[in-house]
Amino acid sequence: MRSLQEKIINEGQVISDTILKVDSFLNHQIDPEFVMAMGRELANRYAGEEVTKVLTVEASGIALALTTGLALKTPVVFAKKKKAATQDSQTYSTKIFSFTRQEAVDIYVNKKLIHARDRVLIIDDFLAHGEALRGLADIVEQAGATLVGVGIAIEKVFQNGGQALRKKGIRIESLAPITSLSGGRVSFV
């Protein structure tokens, strides 16, 4: 998605050889029209897959998942990082490691929200090491649902998370695959 690459170059900030900051439009402040366009693009890429649920993890994946769900006309479910007092004991759960926050967290999805008959599309803002996506795929598997694929705004290809998931047969569509952040410069595939 050329417009996303341009936005990354114009508004993104390379913090290090592994960290790209895009909080001006994607994961802190949100550019609604732009995120809507990204959601439509991901929905178009999975249009023939009969998606019944869009799944993400809180919090920064929610906006892109919502716009993708709107375009697909399907419900959006987000995994919670803390068990809520209102949440019953009937949950799917798994542990993921956040390299950005340097912590392991458990994520939870109520069993009433994803079923074996569902065809699930996972959506997230970033793919780096693939921990969040691995955890979300695990939840889909626990539910006995079908994982139709993954939609990502920005994939840091050089961190190999996508490669590991693709080796498992998971289809991944990335709107802006990045090969390098070396020297403060963003290089795209």
* Structure confidence at residue 86 (pLDDT): 67
Token reading at 57: 């993890």
Are residues 153 and 125 in contact, defined by beta-carbon separation less than 8 angstroms? yes
Are residues 123 and 147 in contact, defined by beta-carbon separation less than 8 angstroms? no
Domain interval for residue 86: 2-188
Instruction: Please indicate whether residue 76 or residue 26 has the higher confidence score (pLDDT).
Output: 76
Quote the number of domains for the chain.
Answer: 1
Interatomic CA distance for residues 189 and 174, integer angstroms: 10
pTM summary value:
0.94
Cβ within 8 Å of residue 119, ≥6 positions away: 49, 50, 51, 52, 53, 145, 146, 148
Interatomic CA distance for residues 78 and 76, integer angstroms: 7
Are residues 140 and 105 in contact, defined by beta-carbon separation less than 8 angstroms? no
Mean pLDDT of 175-182: 96
- Name the one residue in this structure whose structure tokens are 């079923």: 115
Domain of 70, CATH number, reads 3.40.50.2020
Instruction: State the pLDDT confidence band at 87, using cuts at 50, 70 and 90.
Output: low
* Structure confidence at residue 75 (pLDDT): 98
**How do residues 94-113 score in pLDDT, each as one tens digit?**
998 877 677 888 999 999 99
